Amino acid sequence: MYGLGIRIGYYLQWSGGLLAAWICPREVPTLRLTRTLFVASTFLALLTQVPEPGNLEVVEIYITLLFTFGSGLYLLPIFIWRLVTKGDPRKDPSRFPKAGPTSNAYNYSYGVLLVAVLSFQIWFWATRVDALKEKSCVQYGFLFTKIVLHSKDFKILNLVYSSVVLLLVVGTCFVRPFLRLCRKGNSKSTDLEVESTQYSHTLVLYYRTIDTVFKVLVACIIVTATELCIHWNAIPNVNSIDSVGQTIPLVISIGTVVHMLYISWQDTRNSSNNTSFSRPRGEHHAEAWHHMPRMEMD
């Protein structure tokens, strides 16, 4: 579940999504869907392996969870940014997606997946990690340095973070839409006034750049954490591509990224040949303030 082919596949999906948001936005939905299916299949495989005793070491579950929810770390810099800006919705970089809004069906489906992953993470940190206390060997996790995986502070930190994000996801994806539906028809609200605000192209570009920097930073942290955990725990036989299970996700990821680059090149060539073509550079609308910041790498 975290062999070299799968790891490179994830890394290509993340980098491809970040790049596509800038050079080929219309390909972002395809990359986003592919990445979500990657996460769902990895999480499903994890669920089938965990009940069998001896199948997976605790650190192996930890590494797999970095893939299934590592992008959720994106919420950390966003929350810090919101604290610095005192919660001003007009200064929230997560409200200006370059690829456009996602469908409600995708949002709810992805929300259900996140709830499942976060619930599993809470169980993992609350119960499964304690199994390491009975082992003589030490397993390590990543917190910008090598840290004992079952240390009390690391366990509490992950439990608190997973619980807070779970509440945010449930509240934003399921409870809040229900409450808004119940009070539909009321007079104008602050949220609606904020949603209708228009922004200049320069300001939107500024916030989109900040948002991308946050996501690149998170992606680099996940990659570093994954590779260092494999190295620190001396996990064998995970740095080769010698099976179908490693080749398929690698080829799919390479194919989707190459396709995105080809479409981008084709669009650039067509636009340069068409002198009447011009991109709109007027005012832009932001996503609703009450929406959950996207945790996908795009």
284 confidence band (pLDDT: 50, 70, 90): low
Phi, psi of 150 (to 5 degrees): -100, 15
Strongest mean pLDDT among 121-125, 187-191, 267-271: 121-125
Query: Domain range spanning residue 73?
Result: 4-271
Closest Cα partner for 229 from 154, 105, 140, 104? Answer: 140
Question: CA-to-CA distance for 162 and 183, rounded, in angstroms?
Answer: 30
- Model pLDDT, residue 193: 42
State the helix-helix crossing angle for 4-23 and 201-232, rounded to 10 degrees.
170
The single-letter code of the amino acid at 97 is P
What is the average pLDDT score of the chain?
A: 80
Q: Is the pLDDT of residue 190 over 50?
A: no
Query: Is 147 inside any structural domain?
Result: yes
What is the residue-wise DSSP string for the chain? --SHHHHHHHHHHHHHHHHHHHH-GGGHHHHHHHHHHHHHHHHHHHHHHTTSTTSS-HHHHHHHHHHHHGGGGGHHHHHHHHHHTTT-GGG-GGG--TT-PPPHHHHHHHHHHHHHHHHHHHHHHHTGGGGGGG-SS--EEESSSEEETT-HHHHHHHHHHHHHHHHHHHIIIIIHHHHHHHTTT-S--HHHHHHT-EE-HHHHHHHHHHHHHHHHHHHHHHHHHHHHHHHHTT--S-S---SHHHHHHHHHHHHHHHHHHHHHHHHHHHHHH-TT-----S-EEPPPTTSPPP-S--
298 confidence band (pLDDT: 50, 70, 90): low
Section 207-231 average pLDDT: 89
Query: Is 282 inside any structural domain?
Result: no
Q: Of 71-75, 145-149, 152-156, give the lowest mean pLDDT range.
A: 71-75
Question: Are β-strands 140-142 and 198-199 bridged in parallel, bridged antiparallel, or unpaired?
Answer: unpaired
232 confidence band (pLDDT: 50, 70, 90): very high
Closest Cα partner for 39 from 112, 127, 132, 88? Answer: 112
Query: Is 295 inside any structural domain?
Result: no
Query: Is 216 inside any structural domain?
Result: yes
Query: Is 296 inside any structural domain?
Result: no
Strongest mean pLDDT among 49-63, 193-207, 264-278, 284-298: 49-63
- Model pLDDT, residue 276: 46
Section 89-108 average pLDDT: 74
254 confidence band (pLDDT: 50, 70, 90): very high
Q: Is the pLDDT of residue 236 over 50?
A: yes
Query: Is 291 inside any structural domain?
Result: no
For the chain, the maximum distance between any two Cα atoms, rounded to a whole number of angstroms, is 70
Query: Is 278 inside any structural domain?
Result: no
Is-contact 15 251, C-beta < 8 A? no
Query: Is 78 inside any structural domain?
Result: yes
Q: Is the pLDDT of residue 257 over 80?
A: yes
Question: Are β-strands 284-285 and 146-148 bridged in parallel, bridged antiparallel, or unpaired?
Answer: unpaired
Section 217-241 average pLDDT: 91
The single-letter code of the amino acid at 293 is P
Question: CA-to-CA distance for 171 and 95, rounded, in angstroms?
Answer: 18
pLDDT tens for each residue of 102-127? 777 777 888 889 899 999 999 999 99
Q: In total, how many domains does the chain have?
A: 1
Q: Is the pLDDT of residue 46 over 80?
A: yes
Plot region of 59 (φ>0 → left; ψ -120 to 50 → alpha; else → beta): alpha
- Model pLDDT, residue 183: 62
Closest Cα partner for 297 from 69, 83, 108? Answer: 69
